[in-house]
């Protein structure tokens, strides 16, 4: 019979914007085996400390709001079950920190607007759309062509990859921003390619990547981010 409860210890990094103070609080929680970390944090709020701030929204891995670092690994806390965490990290003590991709607002909540600012820079939309067919019908994009880049469209901007990336976000727009640019280079409906290449090959672009593949390793959507960046480096992202 598996354990049905675990006594876990959380060491949570706190920050108070009113006093600009940083500290670590420790919470002991009796947690059910299939509770997710978002459930555990809610339990802490309900039963021990209502002031602990953290973010989430859909709580099933589709929105990327609950990213945080647990024992150093950037991940979605809605996808981490207590039982799996105990086995994966081989401990019942967990250090929880905010992602380090933007300034902290309070506790585990970061200024996501700042992180997104880097994605906005690559223009995550079609700049110059190819006109629809003569009779106004949809474009023709074969499933094979879509298949080349569809994985890159699955990114939810959780910024886990950006947090894991060894290249600093001060001079690199980041793996997810690169993906967003690559998608529109590979998308046959986008007619404006040159300015996209300019962004990709700029000094904040893909040459900042050291091919460590940390991004692919942590991506909760299991997107092989580094693969797409490598394609771009090799000039293999032109539409078919």
CA atoms within 13 A on the CB side of 192: 13
The distance of closest approach from Cβ of residue 59 to another protein in the complex, given in angstroms and rounded to an integer, is: 6
CA atoms within 13 A on the CB side of 202: 17
The distance of closest approach from Cβ of residue 53 to ligand SF4 in the complex, given in angstroms and rounded to an integer, is: 22
**What is the Cα–Cα distance from 89 to 164, expressed in whole angstroms?**
17
According to the binding rule CB under 6 A, does residue 165 interact with ligand SF4? yes
**What is the Cα–Cα distance from 222 to 34, expressed in whole angstroms?**
22
Work out the number of other CB atoms within 10 angstroms of the CB of residue 217.
Answer: 15
Identify whether the C-beta of residue 5 lies closer than 8 Å to the C-beta of residue 26: no
CA atoms within 13 A on the CB side of 204: 15
Q: Which is nearer to another protein, 155 or 209 (CB)?
A: 155
The distance of closest approach from Cβ of residue 141 to another protein in the complex, given in angstroms and rounded to an integer, is: 5
239 contacts which partner out of another protein, ligand SF4, none, CB within 5 to 8 A by kind? none
Rounded to 5°, angle at Cα 145 from 226 and 154: 45
The only residue of 13, 73, 106, 233 in contact with another protein, by rule CB under 8 A: 106
Q: DSSP string spanning 127-157? A: SSBPPPPTTSPPP---HHHHHHHHHHHT---
Binding string, 207-236, against ligand SF4, x = CB under 6 A?
A: --xxxxxxx---x-x-x-xx--x-------
Residues that bind ligand SF4 (rule: CB under 6 A) add up to a total of: 28
Residues 6+ apart with CB under 8 A from 85: 37, 70, 94
Judged by CB under 8 A, which stretch of 58-66, 196-204, 208-216, 231-239 contacts another protein? 58-66
Task: Please list every residue from 179 through 218 that binds another protein, using CB under 8 A.
Answer: 184, 187, 189-190
Q: Which residues bind another protein (CB under 8 A)?
A: 4, 16-18, 32-36, 39, 42, 45-47, 49-51, 53-65, 78-79, 81, 83-84, 105-106, 109, 111-113, 116, 120, 123-127, 129, 132, 136-143, 145-146, 150, 153-154, 156-157, 184, 187, 189-190
**Residues making contact with ligand SF4 (CB under 6 A):** 64, 155-161, 164-167, 175-176, 179, 209-215, 219, 221, 223, 225-226, 229
């Amino acid at each position: 019979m598996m354990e049905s409860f675990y006594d876990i210890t959380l060491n949570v990094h706190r920050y108070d914007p009113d006093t600009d103070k940083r500290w670590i609080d420790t919470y002991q929680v009796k947690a059910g085996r299939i509770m997710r970390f978002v459930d555990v944090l809610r339990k802490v709020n309900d039963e021990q400390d209502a002031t602990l701030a953290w973010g989430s929204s859909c709580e099933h891995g589709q929105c990327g709001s609950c990213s945080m670092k647990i024992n150093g690994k950037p991940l979605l806390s809605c996808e981490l079950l207590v039982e799996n965490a105990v086995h994966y990290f081989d401990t019942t003590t967990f250090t929880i920190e905010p992602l380090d991709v933007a300034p902290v607002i309070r506790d585990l909540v970061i200024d996501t607007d700042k992180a997104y600012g880097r994605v906005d820079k690559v223009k995550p939309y079609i700049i110059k759309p190819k006109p629809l067919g003569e009779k106004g019908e949809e474009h023709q994009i074969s499933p094979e062509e879509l298949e080349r880049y569809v994985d890159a469209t699955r990114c939810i901007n959780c910024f886990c990859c950006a947090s894991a990336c060894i290249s600093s976000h001060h001079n690199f727009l980041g793996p997810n921003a690169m993906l967003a640019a690559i998608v529109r280079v590979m998308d046959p409906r986008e007619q404006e390619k040159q300015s996209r290449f300019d962004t990709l090959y700029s000094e904040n672009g893909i040459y900042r990547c050291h091919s460590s593949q940390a991004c692919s390793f942590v991506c909760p959507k299991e997107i092989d981010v580094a693969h797409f960046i490598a394609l771009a480096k090799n000039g293999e992202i032109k539409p078919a």
